[in-house]
Amino acid sequence: MIRFADPSLAMRVWPKAGDSQVAQVALILAGTLLLAASARLQVPFWPVPMTMQTFVVLGIAAACGARLAGATVLAYLAQGAAGLPVFAAGGGLVYLAGPTGGYLVGFLMAAILVGAMADRGHCRTAGSTLAVFLVGLVTIYAFGVGWLAVLFGGSVAIANGLLPFLLAETVKLALAVAVFPAAWRLAKRC
């Protein structure tokens, strides 16, 4: 069972999750379902369609903290590695080594990093949410673009793995800044 010092947003909303392994497993499974759904759902956007996957990864981390978010993303990656079709275009070990593999590793690193910042009380105000989500996005894209650069070269990686997504990520940042401070205000009233 994962032990928590300061209740995360998820623990404030569902206090039982702090003491119950069953509740924690339920949160992890719910998180993997959200991640799988967010990988498949595409919103028409310019210049490329937008998925909500980076928002969901960072949102799970901001709501659950480092340990539970890390466990959730690790479970999601294990599901995909086992061949379950949880990634945007399927699953399997070959998928993890493909062009999006760096982003998937970045999801785990960002979940732990953002979760650790959330554990320290960040993501409760608009400013701290913006800063924490920016750090998370930089982490995801550093791994993702870095792996693409290994496979295809730096200029191709930036042109195809970063630049087309900047506008969509800006929209998701604005959404995070609106959602997380409001969620904390509501959780404190309960």
**What are the sequence ranges of the domains in the chain?**
9-189
Long-range contacts, stretch 10-15, CB < 8 angstroms, 24+ apart = 10/63, 10/64, 10/65, 10/68, 12/187, 12/188, 12/190, 13/187, 13/190
Using a 10 angstrom Cβ sphere, with 0-12 exposed, 13-18 middle and 19 or more buried, the burial of residue 57 is buried
Q: For the domain with range 9-189, which CATH number is right: 3.40.50.2300, 3.90.980.10, 1.10.3720.10, 1.10.1760.20?
A: 1.10.1760.20
Helix count and strand count (H, E) for the chain: 9, 0
Rounded distance, CA 70 to CA 21, Å? 15
Per-residue tokens: 125: 């105000």
pLDDT by residue, tens only, the chain of 190 residues: 544 445 676 666 556 666 778 888 988 999 999 999 999 888 887 666 778 999 999 999 999 999 999 999 999 999 999 999 999 888 999 888 999 999 999 999 999 999 999 999 888 899 999 999 999 999 999 999 999 999 999 999 999 999 999 999 999 999 999 998 888 888 777 6
